[in-house]
Amino acid sequence: MKCIGLLGGMSWESTVSYYQALNRGVRAKLGGLHSARVLLNSVDFAEIERLQHAGDWPATARLLAAEARKLQDGGADFLLIGTNTMHKVAPEIEAAIDIPLLHIADATARRLQADGIKRVGLLGTRFTMEQDFYKGRLQAHFGLEVLVPVEAERERVHRIIYDELCLGEVRNASRAEYLAIIAGLAAAGAEAVILGCTEIALLVGEAQAAVPLYDTTAIHAEAAVTLALISD
């Protein structure tokens, strides 16, 4: 079994979900007392968040690249970045290491393609919804049409992520807001919605929504389990 390097802590609330999903996935595949081989490097999210909102992406790239190298040096066979937003600096991180990077958007897009989804809504931080590093990848590499909420809704989605979900706060009023926004994306023609922030699945589940929801944390972890169990 390969060792999964997990660059986490962004936020640690979703990193907990990653750790559970990786171990449950391996147990489901192998049975018994099997668990995942995981090397976790959990960073201080306060520093990352400050740099994000200052727009200092080069500094975040340098910081996370250094932490990724520690995972490689510690014996990880491949890398997961346990956050959608920080895939903005995935190219810089990938250039700094010699082990493969399993990209969260690629894993999600392949699942969408397998399910025949062509037009998809995207929820996440403002960075993920508004910048091109994520939705542009879905469009250019996988031919998906990507819809995002209107500006006021994007702001509410972003605020709830940072002010509530990253702090472990799950509020019914915020769930209702998210479900209304998801319904709006469905009304605009989205066949499904990507939960493109690793904390969003803490708030909403597919049974509550008007369209299928694609939980990027779960999809990323499942792809990692598959890769970890492939024999060389």
190 within 8 A of 120, measured Cβ to Cβ: yes
At 141 the pLDDT is 95
- Catalytically annotated residues: 83, 197
Side chain identity, residue 205: G
Per-residue H/E/C for the chain: CCCEEEEECCCHHHHHHHHHHHHHHHHHHHCCCCCCCEEEEECCHHHHHHHHHHCCHHHHHHHHHHHHHHHHHCCCCEEEECCCHHHHHHHHHHHHCCCCECCHHHHHHHHHHHCCCCEEEEECCHHHHHCHHHHHHHHHHHCCEEECCCHHHHHHHHHHHHHCHHHCCCCHHHHHHHHHHHHHHHHCCCCEEEECCCCHHHCCCHHHCCCCEEEHHHHHHHHHHHHHCCCC
At 232 the pLDDT is 64
At 168 the pLDDT is 93
Tell me the per-residue pLDDT of 150-208, one tens digit each, with 9 for 90 and over.
999 999 999 999 999 999 999 999 999 999 999 999 999 999 999 999 999 999 988 88
74 within 8 A of 99, measured Cβ to Cβ: no
Its pTM stands at 0.95
Tell me the per-residue pLDDT of 193-204, one tens digit each, with 9 for 90 and over.
999 999 999 999
At 207 the pLDDT is 82
Distance CA 17, CA 139 (A): 28
Tell me the per-residue pLDDT of 57-116, one tens digit each, with 9 for 90 and over.
999 999 999 999 999 999 999 999 999 999 999 999 999 999 999 999 999 999 999 999
